[in-house]
A and B are shown apart, each in its own frame.
Chain A
Amino acid sequence: MTTDDTVLIQPRGRGSYKVHEREQGPRSLATWARRGGLSSLVFALPILFVFGVFSWWPIVSSVVMSLQESNLVDAPTWVGLDNFRAVLTDPLLPTVIRNTAWFAILAMVFGYPIPLVGAVLMSELRRRKGFYSALAYLPVVVPPVVAVLLWKFFYDPRPEGVFNTVLGWVGLGPFAWLNDATWAMPSLVLEATWAAAGGTVIIYLAALISVPAELYDAAEVDGASVWRKVWHVTLPQLRGVLFITLILQIIGTAQVFLEPFLFTNGGPNHATETIMLRIYNLAFTNLGGNFGQATALSLLLAAFLAVMSLVYFRMTRNWSQT
């Protein structure tokens, strides 16, 4: 919040907390309860309970577990920062960071603009806008595991595979897709983009409705082409939404798990093993599980994303204000 917010709030000032406290002094517990504090608290209890048990307690537990050696069956032993040292010296760490960054970059280059372009094109449609919106959203309602299995079928490396057959018509391929270390990651990004684009398209379409029509009218009067209207009107008006979807995309891609897990299990030869998959493998593919190291790496990832988000918000603070 900025000083502008203060100005807005102050005139309602009967409600300023400090003024209120100065006028009436500290309230007694009974007064607080009588004035609805107790019922508010009791109403809040369910959500506090749910949030505490299912969100904060696991976070606290993982912080504790990152300092322990635990297989979740025997009593854990305290190991200090050993788990952090182990994951930071893990020979696979550079590989999985590189792979995650590669996925994020590919998703940024291909996955980020496509929904925007789609939404802008759809917003220009005069008829059947709803039909095309539903069509764009359809992949989102396909259960992710089903979608991956479907695409696995498409990525059949044999010449008679779906994609190889289609590409064969124009003299391309056959490609090994998921069985080629070079093509495996782009293949995952392609499916991930297909699966997620619909949701983002809907967000952009909703945001586009709020763009004042007179801005386009003015641009048209000035003789602006379609491209200049998009560049000078649409994008600036959407910048707040674009800013949020970008950070959500970065956080989402840094935590990508489903596609590499279901498509390739990190292969071939670790080519698609991401940080999240490494965390999973640390926890669940060693007999007895290495849960301490898995949670240590989880916390490092969370800390990195938190810091990156803060930096991002700071760097784009002015840009994001509409």
Chain B
Amino acid sequence: MRFHRTTTLAMAAVLSFGLLAACDSSDPEEPGASGDPTGAATDEAVTIRVAGLLPTADDAAKQQLDERVAAFEEQYPNITVEPEDYQWLNSTFTTALAGGTLPNVFEIPLTDGKTLIQQGQLADIDSYVKALPYGDDFNEKLLENGMDDSGTIFAVPAKSIYAVALHYNRNLFEQAGLDPDDPPTTWDEVRADAKKIHDETGIAGYATMALDASGGWQLAAGANSRGGVIEKNEGGKYIATLTDPAIKAHLQFLQDLKKDGSLLARADLGWGEINAAFGGGELAMYTSGSDVYNALVEGNGVTADWGYGLTAIPTEDGGGALAGGTLAAVTKDSTEAQKDAAVKWIDWWYLSKLQDKDQAIADASTRAGANPPQAVGTPVLPIFSEELYKENLEWIKDYINVPLENMTGYTDVMFEQDLVPEAAVATQDLYNALFPVVQAVITDDNADIDALLSTANEVGQTAIDAAS
């Protein structure tokens, strides 16, 4: 078949311009016209995407979130909230940040706030946060993590502040003939109990995260509990201390567990994977943030009568519990109206329930009323003050459904125990340098700990120098 030349040209032009038109993107949304953080932007119709639940969240958790979103949109009719599944992972976060696909409101580890602020990757939400009725009541030490050197606020502590603690399966303790109300308080006792559990039940007594930065994070927590640190400041210069004897001691502890046969020696256990393994009954003890019970209920089938136990991480030689937490931040390309809406959502979803009795009860009743119920009352460290935290627990006492009686090993000491902050510079890089060492130790009986730590220390120092 032959086309007339004019027809041919017309067809080609349609094809070309059609394609060009298909590739054309609409104009980006104009920034808030007023630029006034507390004025006209408030009434402007605006849509924000927000970090929602973990990808593993069950239907009940989703229902609870939907209800809170509906209540928020009723309170602020001009704001539409679109929650997205969200789990902070070292690898995916950087990808989303670079690709500009993060939701307007997203969560980051407490320690990453300063770096992201320095790199100009967070929105300035100072005026909106200060306009909150409790804007001046934050625990100053925590809030500093979301401020730049001039004191401008770019992110606020949210969700929870935790200390690393020891989580254990009470049923496995009982099956092994151990008293679940008397959990181990030293690392030697952890080793002995892990061996007994394995010998009696055939199930691994202990496991550690080893995949990606989470492996380094938990090795650091182990080292901190033994009086060591992974980084120190010497006269204003940060030094990697990955050859610290406490780090070596904790690795030796893991190697001993492996030799005992009581370690779940899996290099592919990250934060989510170890929660799943614990919820699935594959291990008896592991360390993670004190608030991990929320995630276990939300996505791993753990319930109040499951047999969950929580106790403080064992400490020795002047060690303490590694503390950490979550900041809520706003994407830099958000309009003023979106920033305003974002801070209102942060207030609604994360913070007001800690400050306001009605909000606290509304949140707790929704969580407790979900089917199955979501965790209410999981012990965390206070974002504001200890008094307010305790008062908050009084407000919601009728809805508390976590097995607090199984958590006394932690709750009895949570305000008294020594807390160790995370490394100040290149934190994730140090964790990334450490996790291969953990993997080597738990998978290779002949791993040379000294050589591995020496290499990791070089990598860590290079990262610190680059970050400094």
Name A residues whose Cβ lies closer than 8 Å to a Cβ of B: 36, 38-39, 42-43, 45-46, 49-50, 53, 71-74, 91, 152, 157, 176, 178-181, 264-265, 267-270, 280-281, 283-289, 291
Check A180–B459 contact: CB distance below 8 A.
no
Give 8 A-B pairs besides A152-B268, A267-B210 with Cβ atoms closer than 8 angstroms. A39-B8, A39-B12, A46-B16, A157-B265, A180-B443, A269-B439, A269-B452, A286-B463
A45 partner residues in chain B, CB cutoff 8 A: 12, 15-16
Contact partner, B19, options A38, A50, A176, Cβ 8 Å = A50
**In this assembly, does B211 line the interface, its C-beta being within 8 Å of a C-beta of chain A?**
yes
Q: Is B53 an interface residue (CB 8 A)?
A: no
Complex CA distance for A291 and B119, rounded to whole angstroms: 14
Q: How far is the CA of A73 from the CA of B123 in the complex (A)?
A: 12
Interface readout for B327-341 with A: 1 if CB under 8 Å, 0 if not? 000001000000000
Q: In the bound complex, what is the Cα–Cα distance between A38 and B9 (angstroms)?
A: 8
Contact among B115, B210, B443 with A287 in the assembled complex (CB-CB below 8 Å): B115
Is the C-beta of B212 less than 8 angstroms from some C-beta in chain A? yes
> CB distance B455 to A91 under 8 Å?
yes
B432 within 8 A of A: yes
Identity of the chain B residue whose Cβ is nearest the Cβ of A44 in the assembled complex:
B12
- Docked-complex contact B268 and A267, CB < 8 angstroms: yes
State whether A49 touches B20 (Cβ < 8 A). Answer: yes
The distance in angstroms between the C-alpha atoms of A113 and B113, with both chains bound, is: 52
Is B80 among interface residues, defined by CB-CB distance under 8 A?
no
A91 to B97, CA, bound (A): 27
Q: A91-B455, A286-B429, A287-B112 are in contact. Are A42 and B212 (CB under 8 A)?
A: no
What residues on B are CB-neighbors of A283 within 8 Å?
94, 98
Could you list 26 A-B pairs, sorted by A, with CB under 8 Å? A38-B9, A42-B15, A43-B8, A71-B98, A73-B120, A73-B121, A152-B268, A178-B267, A181-B440, A267-B210, A267-B439, A269-B436, A269-B439, A269-B444, A284-B92, A284-B95, A285-B90, A285-B91, A285-B213, A285-B428, A285-B432, A287-B116, A287-B428, A287-B429, A288-B116, A288-B119
Supposing A42-B16, A71-B98 touch, asked if A269 and B443 sit within 8 A by C-beta, the answer is: yes
A38, A152, A281, A285, most chain B CB atoms within 10 A? A285
> Smallest Cβ distance from B52 to chain A, in angstroms?
23
Inter-chain contact count A-B, CB under 8 Å? 128
Question: Which residues from chain B contact A176 at a C-beta distance below 8 Å?
Answer: 265, 443
- The digit string for B84-123, where 1 denotes a CB below 8 A from any CB of A, is 0000001110110111000000000000100110011100
Contact A284:B266 (CB < 8 A) given known A42-B12, A73-B97, A73-B119: no
Residue in contact with B265 in the complex, picked from A53, A73, A179, CB distance below 8 Å: A179
| A289 nearest CB across to chain B (Å) | 5
When distances are taken between beta carbons in the complex, the residues of chain A under 8 Å from B116 are 287-288
Number of interface residues of B (CB under 8 A): 50
Q: Are B94 and A179 touching (Cβ within 8 A)?
A: no
Q: Which of B428-468 contact A (CB under 8 A)?
A: 428-429, 432, 435-437, 439-440, 442-444, 447, 452, 455, 458-459, 463
A289 vs B8: C-alpha distance in the bound complex, in angstroms? 48
Q: With an 8 A cutoff between CB atoms, is B1 at the interface? A: no
CA distance A36 to B4 in the complex (A): 11
Q: Which residues from A are CB-within-8-Å of B97?
A: 73, 288-289
- Chain B residue at minimal CB-CB distance from A70: B98
Instruction: Say whether B40 faces chain A, with CB atoms less than 8 Å apart.
Output: no
Which residue of chain A lies nearest to B13 when distances are taken between CB atoms in the complex? A42
Complex Cα distance A91/B99, Å?
A: 28
Cβ–Cβ contact A43 & B15, under 8 A: yes
Q: Which residues of B contact A281 (CB under 8 A)?
A: 91
CA distance A152 to B211 in the complex (A): 15
Q: Is B5 an interface residue (CB 8 A)?
A: yes
Shortest A300–chain B CB gap in Å is 20
A43–B92 Cα distance when bound, in Å, is 40
A36's nearest neighbour on chain B, judged by CB, is B5
Q: Are B15 and A179 in contact (CB under 8 A)?
A: no
Asked if B444 and A181 make an inter-chain contact with CB atoms under 8 angstroms apart, the answer reads yes
A92 to chain B, nearest CB (A): 8
Docked pose: A91 CA to B455 CA in angstroms: 9
Interface centre among A49, A50, A267, A291 (most CB of B within 10 A): A267
Given contacts A91-B459, A270-B436, contact A178 B16 (CB under 8 A): no
Q: Are B119 and A71 closer than 8 Å at their CB atoms?
A: yes
Q: Determine how close the nearest CB of chain B comes to the CB of A317; give it in whole angstroms.
A: 39
**By the criterion CB–CB under 8 Å, are B268 and A179 in contact?**
yes
**Are B23 and A53 interface neighbours, CB within 8 A?**
yes
Closest to A75 in B: B120
Q: Is the CB of B268 within 8 A of A264?
A: yes
B249 to chain A, nearest CB (A): 20
Q: Kindly identify which residue among B20, B212, B440, B455 contacts A268, using a CB–CB cutoff of 8 Å.
A: B440
Give chain B nearest CB distance to A94 CB in angstroms. 12
For residue B96, which residue of chain A has the nearest CB?
Answer: A284
Q: Which residues of B contact A289 (CB under 8 A)?
A: 94, 97-98
**Closest A residue to B213 using CB positions:** A285
Max chain A Cβ within 10 angstroms of own Cβ: one of B99, B120, B444, B455: B444
Inter-subunit contact A269/B437 (CB<8 Å): yes
Bound together, the chains give a CA A267 to CA B429 distance in angstroms of 16
Residue pair B94, A49 in contact (C-beta under 8 Å): no
Q: Cβ of B8: which chain A residues have Cβ within 8 Å of it?
A: 36, 39, 43
A-chain residues with CB within 8 Å of residue B120 when the two chains form the complex: 73-74
Most buried by B among A38, A42, A287, A289: A287
A176 to B211, CA, bound (A): 16
Q: How far is the CB of B155 from chain A (nearest CB, A)?
A: 14
Q: Cβ of B19 and Cβ of A268 under 8 Å apart?
A: no
Contacts of A280 in B (CB 8 A): 91
- Report how far A50 CA is from B459 CA in the complex, Å: 41
Q: Which residue of A lies closest to B467 (CB)?
A: A287
Query: Which one of A39, A152, A178 has the greatest number of beta carbons of chain B within 10 Å?
Result: A39
Q: Given A91-B458, A180-B443 in contact, is the A284-B94 Cβ separation under 8 Å? A: yes
Contacting pair B9 A42 (CB below 8 A): yes
A286 touches B94 (CB 8 A): yes
With a CB–CB cut-off of 8 A, which chain B residues contact A157?
265-266
List residues of chain A with CB within 8 A of the CB of B211: 265, 267
- Whether B98 and A73, one on each chain, are in contact in the complex, defined by CB atoms closer than 8 angstroms, is yes
Check if A268 sits within 8 Å of B267, measured CB to CB. yes
Would B443 and A179 count as touching, CB distance under 8 A? Answer: yes
- Are the C-beta atoms of A73 and B332 separated by less than 8 Å? yes
In angstroms, how far is the closest chain B Cβ from the Cβ of A125? 41
